[in-house]
A and B are shown apart, each in its own frame.
Chain A
Amino acid sequence: MADNNEAPQLDRADSRVRNDQGLAGAMRGFYDRVRSGDLGMLPVVIGLVLISVVFTTLNPVFLAPNNLVNLLFDAAAVGLIALGVVCVLLLGEIDLSIGSMSGLSSAIIGVLWVNSGVPLLVAIGGAVAAGATVGFIYGVLRNNFEMPSFVATLSGLLALLGLQLYLLGSTGSINMPFTSPLVKFGQILIMPMWLSLILALLPGALMVYTGVSTMRRRQAANLSSEGLSVVLVKAGVLTAALLFAVYYLSLGRGVPWMFGVFVGFVAALDYALTRTKWGRSMFAVGGNAEAARRAGINVGMIRLSAFVLCSSLAALGGVFAAARLASASQQAGAGDVNLNAIAAAVIGGTSLFGGRGSAWSALLGVIVIMAISNGLTLLNLSSSLRYMITGAVLAIAVIVDSLARRSRASSGRA
């Protein structure tokens, strides 16, 4: 890494740029970012450590492998919904009807699959299509009628809830057969050990591969690169953490398929947001919609895609929730589902103000939210207290978001 005497690299030619290289450089860059209010994943990590310490001292069962497996089973449904919320939050919009949408979707599954005998996959397709339609309507209301999304989706909240109750009829609840693949998926199915091990090794391997190839290409183009040591350390830490997680969960039942599918969705959305033109346009519209429009981006289409994606993911989350509970009931999607999903996205680091965030925030945020909910349940606290505490956690997350935003503004980062 001692190439200081050669011709300066393209992006290091300016004497005002600090030449951050290797591990020390990466650490210094991270420290600078945090200080200027670019907190990234830091609040989540701190939050998780705090939560684990507090709940484990109150009830040691909290960290037991099987309890964590249950936690992951619970996290998948809300996590999928939160993933959709990330999409709308990135644009500075909101969808308050995600809970109702997920409830409606589980009612659709119940009516189509259990009551009418439609094949399961077709029923799931129908539920997701219903979600896409609802999202399309929100998009049209926002684009063509300039209706603020919180009003449109607030009215959607009530309308969808009404539709859910109508579909479920007087009985109010449809039970799903315990031997069916859907319920097994939601309650029992665990990845085989070899597969979870491969999946634990995969991200690190991918990181090294893309890291090295990017480094080669950057060097060929005379651009600076972060250095092999940084890539290796990052990949090593990640792989070690994932392997430990898989090992620890395998002391219990293992890694749930449901959670694996959820993580797959997160990875796919992360790729779409960071590596495609669509993702870049999402951030641009969230940061400055008028500038995006003048750059030739079809702002309406981007908004439409975000609303459709959000409602579709909420519908799929509803299917997951139905699988978890083995029933479609009037309570599905009610209560704290809405708030949990939005809180998860915000806690994970997606800004309510648009233009900042990532798909991983849904994953990390939902683990925090579910850990709190799980811990409080272990303490035998009633849902009244759980609601109050979850509400307070969301408030704290928003305060952290706002303060970080102010700090970014004062240190010249959007």
Chain B
Amino acid sequence: MSDGASKKGDLILRLRGVSKQFGAVTALSDIELDIHAGEVVALVGDNGAGKSTLVKVLAGVHQPTAGTIEYLGKQVALDTPGKAIDMGIATVFQDLALCENLDVVANLFLGREMNPWRMDEVQMEVRAWTLLKELAARIPSVREPVASLSGGQRQTVAIARSLLSDPHIIMLDEPTAALGVAQTAEVLNLIERVRDRGHGVILISHNMEDVRAVADRIVVLRLGANNGVFTPESSHQDLVAAITGASENSVSRRMARKLETAGE
């Protein structure tokens, strides 16, 4: 288990030339990405740009076809999810990856139960409540199976689980997609808190407002390749152009149309 104690600004993760093929389809080609301690990097891109694939490569779910991953200065092979978690890379997957037949406590501690030969249910439950309180989660009971929770509640459980091991890097794949207004704000607060504690955060989101609110850098992927790095100060047009691959795109045309009707 990691202690998450990197100095702010240290390079934690360095990807060079990472590619992933699914048969004839190239999902990722030649990706370069640096993550430093204490920064939030947003990964944006259209559907099918390869964001989730990249996250799964870093989580040890998929293995890259080519390229190198350096973690804390050493080249590593992330060949199983367990290895990634042990090294301190925690992930909140888009599909959440929860076990519906288990209760909230069991899901939070899955694979990292306290006291493996005589599970300490009381202490796990207390830790679960503390963690969920920190996230301002609205979960009525942690002893109900996850199947009975709503989408947003499940999302909170998945986020809470990623924080449990105090990782170096947290990857959040669309963490706010299913959340209400208050929970979204809490998740954004949480991302900032995690960053201030010196963790690196990778955030995938389609919501540009959220991305601009917390990201230090915005990395754009397009069709599986890098397509520029931006800051929250970059203009909306530039970002959209990088995401869609053209300054003349459906978003700009729509804007222009709106301006026209407003001008008439």
Contacts and interface: CB of A to CB of B under 8 A. Distances in A.
A284 B102 contact: yes
A192 B218 CA distance: 76
Contacts of A223: 122, 125-126, 129
A27 interface: no
Interface string A1-27: 000000000110010110000000000
Contacts of A16: 140
A356 B145 CA distance: 12
A291 interface: yes
Nearest to B98: A291
A297 B138 contact: no
A283 interface: yes
Interface stretch (A214-222, A243-251, A373-381, A393-401): A214-222
Contacts of B121: 214
A288 B98 contact: yes
Contact of B61 (A218, A275, A294, A413): A294
A283 B111 CA distance: 12
In which size bucket is the chain A interface? 35 or more
A296 B86 contact: yes
Interface in B124-175: 125-126, 129, 138-143, 145-148, 161
B24 interface: no
Given A284-B110, A291-B97, A294-B97, A276 B118 contact: yes
A161 to B, nearest CB: 35
A383 interface: no
Contacts of A298: 80, 82
A287 interface: yes
B81 A296 contact: yes
Contacts of B146: 414
Given A295-B97, A296-B86, A297-B82, A413 B147 contact: yes
B243 interface: no
Interface string B107-128: 0001111001111011101100
A28 interface: no
A276 B143 CA distance: 17
B59 interface: yes
A295 B102 contact: no
Contacts of B113: 277, 280
A286 interface: yes
B250 interface: no
A296 B129 CA distance: 23
Contacts of B61: 293-294
A407 B148 CA distance: 13
Contacts of B117: 276-277
A292 interface: yes
B91 interface: yes
Interface in A312-336: none
B5 interface: no
A298 B139 CA distance: 29
A295 B119 CA distance: 17
B100 interface: yes
Contact of A280 (B110, B122, B147): B110
- How would you classify the secondary structure of chain B's contact residues: helix, strand, loop or mixed? loop
A414 B139 CA distance: 17
A294 B147 contact: no
B81 A295 contact: yes
A117 interface: no
A295 B106 CA distance: 11
Contacts of A355: 99, 101
B85 interface: yes
A281 interface: yes
A294 B81 CA distance: 5
A359 B122 CA distance: 23
Nearest to B126: A221
A170 B201 CA distance: 71
Given A291-B97, A295-B97, A283 B102 contact: yes
Contacts of A218: 122
Contacts of B142: 11
A276 B82 CA distance: 19
B122 A217 contact: yes
Nearest to A412: B148
A130 B140 CA distance: 49
A373 B109 CA distance: 44
B196 to A, nearest CB: 27
A295 B123 CA distance: 20
A216 to B, nearest CB: 10
Interface string B19-37: 0000000000000000000
A280 B119 contact: yes
A286 B102 CA distance: 10
B118 A221 contact: no
A414 B91 CA distance: 24
A116 to B, nearest CB: 39
Nearest to A353: B101
A213 to B, nearest CB: 10
Contacts of B110: 280-281, 284, 291-292, 295, 297
Interface of B: 59, 61, 80-82, 85-86, 91, 93, 97-102, 106, 110-113, 116-119, 121-123, 125-126, 129, 138-143, 145-148, 161
13 contacts: A16-B140, A17-B140, A217-B122, A275-B119, A276-B116, A280-B102, A281-B110, A284-B102, A291-B97, A294-B81, A294-B91, A295-B97, A414-B99
Closest 8 A-B residue pairs measured CB to CB?
A296-B82, A287-B101, A414-B147, A277-B116, A414-B100, A414-B101, A291-B97, A412-B148
